[in-house]
Every structure is written in structure tokens, then in C-alpha cells.
């Protein structure tokens, strides 16, 4: 093997490493361009901006639409209210109301107060509880329907996303998808290396 052949092989051997670096840096830049530049930049009349900052409004609209359709269409609020133990809160409230407020006021009324005892208060308490229990479920349904009608989930989600700082959003995405981003970078290098080997093979065949 002549010195010229050795030099040629050495030069060819660098190609896979160069293409691997190019593949890695290309994917790395692509990931960076998801978030940067955060503000539009003009270069030779061409405007550049990171994908997520540039489409933040569209992302906010789509996410808000999905949340509203997928959750409220399933009557999530109604289902959550149905699981809420309203009876225990109502019972406790009625007992305090009858014993601590209504009972005290009734006993303070001349003539009437002398007829108010624990038995009377228990009877009033039972009457109040029976009446309220009959109205709890219809009231629960009315509240759920009213909330689903009045609660503008789409606007709330959209506004929250639009006011979310890009720095925090980038930190969140990177924390969640850090392994995937690293894998994308590595795959870029691996594919670049394979492309380099193919190029070397072609050069050797035609050489």
C-alpha cells in the first residue's frame, strides 16, 4: 500500500465522523429552534422565530379547544359534583343552624321561649334535614349545569397559556422530554455516521 493510498484512506476515514457531527448538530439546532429565538429576528429580509413562540397563540387555541371538548363534553363538572359528599356538609350546617342560632333566638322570645326544649329543636332539625335532602340532588344538577354553561374553560385555558412565560414553558418541556431530545440528537449522529460510511464506500468503488 503506497503512502498516497494510506493518506487517501485516512482522509476518507474522517468523513463518517464529520457527517456524524453534522447530523448531531443539525438535530441539536432543530431542538433549540423549537424555543429560540423567542422574539422575531430579521436576517436578509427573512423572519426567524422559534416554533413554539411563533405559534403560541395557535397552540393556546388548540389546547383550549381540546380541553373544552374532551372534558366538558363528558360533563366532567357534573360527575365530580356527583361524587362530592354534600349531605354531610348540609347535615352539619343544619344542626349548627338549628341548635346554635335558631334555638337561641326562639328561646329569647317571650312566652315562646319557655316551650323550646331539646325535643322541639330535634323535631325542627329533622324537618329541616328532610326538606333539604329532597332538594340536594336537583340543586346539585342545577349548579353543575350552570357551571358548565357559565364557566368559559376555553378562554381560561387559552389565557393561561398565552401568559405562560416562554422560559418556564421551555424548562417544563425539557424536563419532560429530556430523554427524547437526547435520543434525537444521538440518532442524528448515528444516521450521519452511516451516511458517511456510505459516502466512503461509494468513493472507494468509483476510485
What's the pLDDT at 2?
64
**Secondary structure of residue 165 in the 3-state scheme:** coil
Reported as a single tens digit per residue, the pLDDT across 112-140 is: 667 777 788 788 888 888 888 887 888 87
What whole-number distance in Å separates Cα of residue 126 and Cα of residue 139?
20
Q: What is the mean pLDDT of the chain?
A: 81
Percent of the chain past pLDDT 70, that is, above it, reads 91
Reported as a single tens digit per residue, the pLDDT across 61-113 is: 888 888 777 766 556 677 777 777 777 888 888 888 877 777 777 777 777 66
Helices 76-83 and 118-150: crossing angle, nearest 10°?
A: 160
Region 46-69 average pLDDT: 82
Residues in a beta bridge with 47: 42
How many residues in total does the chain contain?
Answer: 207
What's the grid cell of residue 32?
433549540
Q: Count Cβ atoms below 10 Å from residue 168 Cβ, excluding itself.
A: 9
**Choice between 122 and 186, residue whose per-residue pLDDT is larger:** 186
Region 179-196 average pLDDT: 93
Q: Count Cβ atoms below 10 Å from residue 69 Cβ, excluding itself.
A: 12
| CA–CA distances in Å: residue 199 to residues 75, 99, 165, 173 | 59, 90, 45, 36
Question: With the C-alpha atoms ordered 167, 173, 176, 179, is the resulting torsion angle positive or negative?
Answer: negative
The full set of domain ranges for the chain reads 3-206
Amino acid at each position: 500500500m503506497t503512502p498516497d493510498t494510506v493518506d487517501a484512506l485516512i482522509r476518507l476515514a474522517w468523513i463518517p465522523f464529520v457527517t456524524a457531527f453534522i447530523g448531531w448538530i443539525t438535530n441539536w439546532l432543530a431542538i433549540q429552534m423549537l424555543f429560540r429565538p423567542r422574539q422575531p429576528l430579521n436576517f436578509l429580509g427573512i423572519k426567524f422565530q422559534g416554533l413554539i413562540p411563533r405559534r403560541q397563540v395557535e397552540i393556546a387555541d388548540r389546547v383550549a379547544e381540546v380541553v373544552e371538548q374532551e372534558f366538558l363534553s363528558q360533563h366532567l363538572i357534573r360527575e365530580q359534583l356527583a361524587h362530592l359528599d354534600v349531605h354531610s356538609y348540609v347535615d352539619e350546617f343544619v344542626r349548627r343552624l338549628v341548635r346554635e342560632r335558631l334555638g337561641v333566638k326562639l328561646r329569647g322570645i317571650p312566652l315562646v321561649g319557655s316551650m323550646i326544649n331539646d325535643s322541639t329543636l330535634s323535631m325542627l332539625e329533622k324537618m329541616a334535614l328532610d326538606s333539604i335532602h329532597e332538594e340536594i340532588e336537583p340543586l346539585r344538577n342545577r349548579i353543575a349545569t350552570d357551571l358548565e354553561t357559565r364557566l368559559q374553560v376555553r378562554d381560561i385555558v387559552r389565557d393561561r397559556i398565552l401568559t405562560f412565560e416562554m422560559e418556564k414553558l421551555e424548562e417544563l418541556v425539557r424536563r419532560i422530554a429530556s430523554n427524547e431530545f437526547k435520543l434525537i440528537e444521538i440518532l442524528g449522529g448515528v444516521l450521519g455516521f452511516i451516511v458517511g460510511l456510505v459516502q466512503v464506500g461509494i468513493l472507494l468503488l468509483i476510485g
